[in-house]
Amino acid sequence: MTALDQPVTRTAYQQSVADYWNAEKDPVNLRLGDVDGLYHHHYGLGDYDPAVLDAPEDRRDQAIIDEMHRLETAQADVLLDHLGPIGPADRLLDAGCGRGGTSVMAHQRFGCQVDGISISEQQVGFANEHVRQRGIDGSVRYHLRNMLDTGFESGVFQGIWNNESTMYVDLHDLFAEHARQLKPGGRYVTITGCYNDVTGGRSRAVSQIDQHYICNIHARGDYFKALSDNGFVPINVVDLTAATIPYWELRERSSVATGVEKPFLTAYREGSFHYLLIAADRV
């Protein structure tokens, strides 16, 4: 039986994650995406413009939404900056693509084919309709597949990324699959939250984040061990923690706050949680 013949979700946990995202219609994702049609499922980077908080009352909420979306799009740009040289003939994989915003940005930047995968049927349908409306569905395609066993051929991708999606899977299984799919010398990039294993196990704030998103945040050191075990050599590691705190401070003051802002800010400020970018080459 091939990967495509099997059910997309292989465990009860994976099905619970799929159910969560199939039902999700959170304004923090949808209203921000409505700004310019790039729908993200990740957080932001950089300082926000404090002037948005002083906008007239009838425009303040939208000004904050616009600024949060600018910060989350900046995050995706930082990830794409680390993919290395990509040409129009190359092929990229967005593993855990959400509603597809980073995939669209990658195609716009590099002009290449991009495949996105998610175990959420709702996300895949939304993303495919969106690229059809943009007229780029011949180059950007989304698939209902499991990132641990995608069914794609071996060695076909020049670059693969996970943008805040590694906390839903076993890292060794994930990086083994990525290593199979990447060309030799291909680049893998992830931006992820990870708990600080120097200070011990998961803090209370990190556990609250896990509970909110039904995820399993990994220790920082687990990433490097799993990458090494699967033939990856890190070429760039960037601590983005300080750069993401302003996004959370602004989000906490927005109309789309979900209540998870306080655990994120607490975990980042106390040092129990890091926001990390890792770029690694397959050798």
Task: Give the residue numbers spanning the domain of 123.
Answer: 63-282
CA distance 133 to 125: 12
CA distance 128 to 130: 5
Place of tokens 């995706």: 76
pLDDT tens per residue across span 18-54: 999 999 898 888 999 999 999 998 999 999 999 999 9
pLDDT at residue number 26? 85
Q: What is the CATH number of the domain that holds 227?
A: 3.40.50.150
* Percent of the chain surpassing pLDDT 90: 94
- Could you tell me which residues come within 8 angstroms of residue 263 by beta carbon, excluding any fewer than 6 positions away? 205, 206, 208, 209, 212
Instruction: Count up the domains in the chain and report the number.
Output: 1
* Percent of the chain surpassing pLDDT 70: 98
Q: Residue 2: pLDDT above 60? A: no
Give mean pLDDT, residues 180-190. Answer: 97
> Confidence band (pLDDT; 50, 70, 90) for 1?
very low
* From 5-19, 66-80, 236-250, the region with the lowest mean pLDDT: 5-19
Q: Establish if 96 belongs to a structural domain.
A: yes
CA nearest 226: which of 157, 268, 169, 160?
Answer: 169
Rg over alpha carbons for the chain, rounded to the nearest Å, is: 18
Give mean pLDDT, residues 170-193. Answer: 98
Partner residues linked to 161 by β-bridges: 94, 189
How many Å is the maximal CA-CA distance in the chain?
60
Q: Establish if 54 belongs to a structural domain.
A: no
Q: DSSP labels for 151-191?
A: -PPTT-EEEEEEES-GGGS-HHHHHHHHHHHEEEEEEEEEE
Q: Establish if 12 belongs to a structural domain.
A: no
**Contact assessment for residue 155 and residue 164, using Cβ atoms and an 8 Å cutoff:** no
pTM tops 0.85, yes or no: yes
CA distance 191 to 214: 18
**Contact assessment for residue 266 and residue 188, using Cβ atoms and an 8 Å cutoff:** no
Q: Establish if 151 belongs to a structural domain.
A: yes
Q: Residue 65: pLDDT above 90? A: yes
pLDDT at residue number 5? 66
pLDDT at residue number 3? 57
Q: Is residue 143 classed as helix, strand or coil in its secondary structure?
A: strand
Q: Establish if 180 belongs to a structural domain.
A: yes
Q: Establish if 113 belongs to a structural domain.
A: yes
Q: Establish if 27 belongs to a structural domain.
A: no
